[in-house]
Structure 1
Amino acid sequence: MLHRLPIALMLLFAAAPAGATASAQVPEGSSLTLFALGVLGVIVGRRLSMRKSNKDD
């Protein structure tokens, strides 16, 4: 049992988040929602302006 302890400790510290050097940042859900609403607003605005310019012709 004691001969497995160093291996278990080594695996524990290797898998610890504090030992991670590079990680991908995940944006918050509210940030994604705001971005999606902004993109949707741009799309709707462009479509409405295209319709308006087509009616004027």
Structure 2
Amino acid sequence: MSDAELKKLQDKRAKIPTERHQQRKAELSRRYEVEVTPDLVEKDDDQIIINS
């Protein structure tokens, strides 16, 4: 997802579940600079990952 597409999605108020999923995946991908996996999502949810 491009930066412009992510920004547009972030600015959108009413999102369908698929759009929320796409936004979360893009944000995690940018935050950790790795491929997003279910394990990464779970660790991020539990705030286990410390981004240094």
TM-score of the two chains, using structure 2 as the length reference: 0.37
Q: Which gives a bigger RCO, structure 1 or 2 (Cα 8 Å, sep 6+)?
A: 2
Would you tell me which structure has more helix in proportion to its own residues?
1
Q: Give TM-score, length-normalised by structure 1.
A: 0.34
